[in-house]
Amino acid sequence: MKHPSYCCQKCGEQIGWLGRLLWFIHKCKRGGEAMKQEDAMPYFLCVMLGIIIGGLFGGCTGVSQMKQEAVREGPAEWVADASGMAQFKWKEAKP
């Protein structure tokens, strides 16, 4: 019998998607696990990919915010390079 995706596929107990991902925690009433390890791998890979993408996006956003704040406060500026593209540049420190 096929149970909803948030239930154990053997006993039908509602364990949630996290319970299916953490297959080793649920003790099935009919014996065995809620999900085989190889069935949990796509979920695990999606979670890991989400964490990596979130970290990269957060890092890029943080650097961009830092540059905007530095230009706004004055110690940095945007200058045009040889091809006309804007480049971030720190201003020379005044002694």
* pLDDT score of 25 more than 80: no
Structure token pair of residue 26 = 């649920």
Higher-pLDDT residue of 89, 19 = 89
pLDDT digits (tens, 9 = 90+) for 54-95: 999 998 899 899 999 999 998 999 999 999 899 999 998 777
Within-domain flag for 72: yes
Q: Which amino acid type is present at position 42? A: P
The domain total for the chain is 1
Range(s) of the domain holding residue 72: 36-90
Within-domain flag for 60: yes
Within-domain flag for 29: no
* 34 class by beta-carbon count within 10 Å (0-12 exposed, 13-18 middle, 19+ buried): buried
pTM for the predicted model, two decimal places: 0.47
Within-domain flag for 46: yes
Give the pLDDT band (50/70/90) at residue 8.
confident
Residues 6+ apart with CB under 8 A from 25: 19
Within-domain flag for 10: no
pLDDT of residue 93: 79
